[in-house]
Amino acid sequence: MRKLFSLVVFLLLAIPLWATHQRAAEIIYENKGGNAYEFTLITYNVPNEAWNQRDSLLIKWGDGFQSYVPRIGYQDVGNSTVRSVYRAMHTYSSAGSYTISMEDANRNNGVVNIANSVNVPMYIESELVISPFLGNGNNSVQLLNPPLDQGCVGRPFYHNPAAYDPDGDSLSYRLVPCKGAYGQDVPGYTYPNASSLFDIDPITGLLSWENPVLQGEYNIAILIEEWRQGVKVGSVIRDMQILINACDNNPPQIMTIGDTCVIAGSTLDFLIQASDPDGDEVTLEVTGAPLQVSPSATLTPEWDYGLYPTIEFTWNTQCSLIRKMPYQLVIHAKDHASPVQLSNVYSINISIIGPEVENLTAELKNNAVDLTWSAYSFCPNVEHIYVYRRLGSSPYQADYCETGVRPGYQLVGQLSKNATSFHDDNGGAEFQQGMEYCYRVVAVFGDGAESRPSDEACVLFPNNQPLMTKVSNDSDDLFARRMLVGWARPREIDPQFTAPFTYSLIRNLEGVENTVYSGMDSTFCDVDVDLAEVHSLHYKVEMRDANQQLVGKSAVAHPVMLTGTGGNRTASLQWEETVPWNVDSTEVFKKVDTVFVKIASTDAKEYVDNQVYNDVEYQYYVRTFGHYDIIGIPKPLINYSAVITVKPSEHGNPDPDEPVYELPNVFTPNGDQINDVFVPRRITPDLIVKVDMHIFNRWGRFVYETKDIFINWDGRATGTGLPCSTGTYFYVCDVEMITPEGPVTKRLQGSIMIVR
């Protein structure tokens, strides 16, 4: 028995001697057509006899199959580390989401933030999404910087994996715990200890450790996710190792330009320089997407070494390079101090954009608009021409790097790439009289990337018919059950019509049409209508001359229709106002004690009041402000809704066991303490387990992420902390909730408008 016990102890002690001693690893993949993919597993190991014998590793393909993948090469990279490459093909039988994984015993000994690391397996995984909606398949990111690095105690450490996505997808980065046996988080895993900061920029991928506290070896895992049109299409987890030593050294400094753009067909040329504050010599290297694509950028020299190394970056761009996402260039400077060589990392985002469409003209013809422009022949890879329209002029000069159109424009035409004209009849609906309609045209490329906008072209529609100007609940007495209706005479009356002129006001109430006024006045008080009880109501006016000839008819105008619902300590208000004038803003009023007070001003058509209690009735109304761009029409045009009553309730949802998670589509982070933060419009917090929110701008660039179930976005970009500009943003939000059937994850996708 004693001999057997001794043998068991010996074997247990011997395990680390024959383990692989993994330092770092990752799995990447490349589509080879259809559902066939080539997978590459890259590992970094301590060289020993066990590693020598491991000429293949087991990969699970995520579809129920697994294979031993052969090692196709290896390289000594110094610091007692060997880089090994394993590669194999695998074909999937159908579309789906697959998790490809590798687990290998063991990690190397002595990792500070993984207890007993030599007996903890190295586990990595990558996610592959195969979908017919992704086009010709998806390729994972390629990580151009190695997953081994060094730093000093008490000195800032920076690292960037230099992720390059061949498909031009949007990338996001986050730290996750290192994983061990069966893909579970390593028990007791902790992120490295820092004196002030240990974090990764979710947009650029820059890892900042300010500053390491204890020397030793540390392992971290970086999850890099790919997004296409707001949908996650793949991910890679990199498990990497950082060696921190006690040393008196400072990282080198990098001098070059910031994020920039270049119009396709032009040449981008700039210098990259480095120096070291301690006077050490520096090696300067550059990696990134511009060096991977075709035509690629060139570096002169390819790398440099010395006290002031300098590299010239030159990129002769072509239209084939145009895409939504910028190309990330990663600059790496490493000093040659002893005993530890410190690095600094700097990234530049370079956007390749299409030139603008030229010579846009607009002409008014028979109550429609004819547009013409020059053929977009510069870039043969253009796929569409988009026509945008807005009410009123916005005569801005686009910034050099600006693509698409600014908020306020509506897409009215999607044309073939060879189109040079467009006839806009407003879908058969009448254009607003006396209003200026303005247009811009852009070229659109394969992934939805838009060119710089054309110059603006505008037309002015004549005011030759009467105009509705008021359809309002009586503001003098909101409970009086009467409507105030107003209209205005046209400024441009055909000489064939003779004065005096008379008007007929026609009311459509619940689908029944009646003439409620005839005469020469331009206002009418309709005492037969209680707006609080109405479901459908609109007015229009007809104008006749002295001979009863019809001069013209106005467009119809609807009153402000306000509705409200009560939730758990929330009162949600929504309103609609369909009118022929521009509605600029809305004020929300709430009855406090015996008077109504303004609680919000917004450009949206909804508002959530969180300053309420359950089972208490609250009264609200809204007041809208609008205008015509016509001389002689008073501004603003003010209209009131009816007063409504809302009663918040803990059981406001029809089924209290069903989870509720509803998001608004607008917020106003302008510092007025009203609607400043993006939060759920309705939520049952007890039934929401977790949230994974990602927000993108209209170019598909990632701007914000959170796991806070209340979101609490203040409109600032993650990483930079800078306010996001006014405009439309898009979100993908995975919500895990408890339903009567059990836990369910629901994906919400939509848009958010920021109004400042």
Would you say how long the chain is, in residues?
756
The count of other CB atoms within 10 Å of the CB of residue 685 is 12
Domain encompassing residue 731:
661-754
Give the pairing of strands 570-576 and 606-609. Answer: antiparallel
Q: Are residues 576 and 624 in the same domain?
A: yes
Q: Is residue 655 part of a domain?
A: no
Question: Pairing mode, if any, of strands 618-627 and 661-662?
Answer: unpaired
Does residue 9 fall inside a structural domain?
no
Q: Last residue of some domain: 200, 218, 245?
A: 245
Does 12 reside within a domain? no
Distance, CA of 273 to CA of 331 (rounded, Å): 10
Whether the pLDDT of residue 703 is over 90: the answer is: no
Closest CA to 325 of 512, 165, 137, 561: 165
* Residue 603, burial from CB neighbour count under 10 angstroms (0-12, 13-18, 19+): middle
Alpha-carbon distance of 708 to 223, in angstroms, equals 19
Same domain, 575 and 540: no
Distance CA 727, CA 703 (A): 13
pLDDT band at 655 (very low <50, low <70, confident <90, very high): low
pLDDT band at 16 (very low <50, low <70, confident <90, very high): very low
Instruction: For residues 527-555, give the mean pLDDT.
Output: 93
Asked whether residue 440 is assigned to any structural domain, the reply reads yes
Nearest residue to 377 (alpha-carbon basis) of 496, 265, 224, 246: 265
| Residue 499 shares a structural domain with residue 578 | no
3-class SS of residue 708: coil
Residue 483's nearest CA partner among 455, 443, 517 is 517
How far apart CA 418 and CA 484 sit, in angstroms, is 51
CA–CA dist 290, 329 (Å, integer): 7
DSSP 185: B
> What is residue 682's three-state secondary structure?
strand
How far is 331 from 454, CA to CA, in rounded Å? 35
pLDDT tens sequence across 129-157: 998 877 668 999 999 999 999 999 999 99
Q: Where are the beta strands (DSSP E) in 337-435?
A: 343-353, 361-365, 368-372, 384-391, 410-416, 421-424
pLDDT of residue 8: 36
pLDDT mean over 340-346: 91
Residue 281 belongs to a domain: yes
Here the tokens at position 417 are 């790439």
Domain count, the chain: 6
Longest dimension (CA), the chain: 124
End-of-domain residue from the set 245, 269, 285: 245
The per-residue pLDDT for range 710-755, each reduced to its tens digit, is 999 999 888 777 788 888 888 889 999 998 888 898 988 888 888 7
Domain check: are 155 and 230 in the same one? yes
Query: Do both 39 and 134 map to the same domain?
Result: yes
Return the number of other C-beta atoms located less than 10 Å from residue 79's C-beta. Answer: 12
**Shared domain check, 210 and 77:** yes
Residue 217 CA to residue 105 CA, distance in Å, equals 18
Q: Residue 412: how many CB atoms within 10 A of its CB?
A: 18
Q: Please report whether residue 2 resides in a domain.
A: no
pLDDT band at 20 (very low <50, low <70, confident <90, very high): low
Angle at 728 between CA 722 and CA 729, to 5 degrees: 65
Q: Beta 231-245 vs 148-152: how paired, if at all?
A: parallel
Cα–Cα distance measured from residue 668 to residue 723, given in angstroms and rounded to the nearest whole number: 12
**Can you tell me the distance from the alpha carbon of 433 to that of 581, in angstroms, rounded to the nearest whole number?**
9
Backbone angles phi, psi at 269, to 5 degrees: -140, 125
Q: Are residues 365 and 475 in the same domain?
A: no
Q: Which of 590, 614, 646 is the last residue of a domain?
A: 646
Do 61 and 166 fall into the same domain? yes
Q: How confident is the model over 97-116, as a mean pLDDT?
A: 94
Evaluate whether 210 touches 196 at the Cβ level (below 8 Å): yes
For residue 449, what are the contacts with CB-CB under 8 A and spacing of at least 6? 322, 323, 324, 353, 354, 403, 699
Identify the CATH number of the domain in which residue 389 sits: 2.60.40.10
For the stretch 444-490, pLDDT in tens is 998 889 999 999 999 998 888 899 999 999 999 999 999 999 999 99
- Rounded to an integer, what distance in angstroms lies between the CA atom of residue 14 and that of residue 29? 35
Classified as helix, coil or strand, 302 is coil
In 3D space, the residue among 275, 347, 258, 278 whose CA is nearest the CA of residue 310 turns out to be 275
Residue 450 lies in a domain: yes
At 656, is the pLDDT very low, low, confident or very high (cuts 50, 70, 90)? low
Q: What is the pLDDT of residue 2?
A: 43
Span 586-616, pLDDT tens digits: 999 999 999 999 999 998 888 989 899 999 9
Q: Of 44-58, 181-195, 211-225, 428-442, which gets the smallest average pLDDT?
A: 44-58
Sign of CA dihedral 285, 287, 292, 294: negative
Residue with tokens 């429609």: 368
Do 603 and 701 lie in one domain? The reply is: no
Domain CATH number, residue 707: 2.60.40
* pLDDT above 70 coverage of the chain, percent: 96
| Alpha-carbon torsion (409, 451, 164, 723), positive or negative | negative
Cis before 106 (ω within 30) = yes
Structure tokens at 440: 């811009």
In 10 A of CB 242, how many CB atoms?
Answer: 22
What is the secondary structure of 103-153 as a DSSP string?
EES-BPTTBTTSTTGGGS-EEEEEEEEE-GGGSS-----EE-S-SEEEEET
DSSP 21-86: -EEEEEEEEEE-STTEEEEEEEEEE--SHHHHH--EEEEE-SSS-EEEEEEEEEEEEETTEEEEEE
Residue 482 lies in a domain: yes
CA-to-CA dists, residue 708 to 82, 486, 633, 693, angstroms: 41, 49, 48, 8
Looking at the structure, tell me whether residues 614 and 684 fall in a common domain: no
**397-354-363-465 Cα dihedral, nearest 10 degrees:** -70
* Domain match, 622 and 566 both: yes
**Mean of the pLDDT values across residues 229-234?**
85
Retrieve residue 217's tokens.
């070896």
pLDDT value at 6 more than 70: no
Q: Name the CA dihedral angle for 407, 411, 414, 418, rounded to a multiple of 10 degrees.
A: -60
Selected residue with higher pLDDT from 447 and 357: 357
- pLDDT given for residue 7 in this prediction: 37
272 and 330 both lie in a single domain: yes
359-372 residue pLDDT tens: 999 999 988 999 99
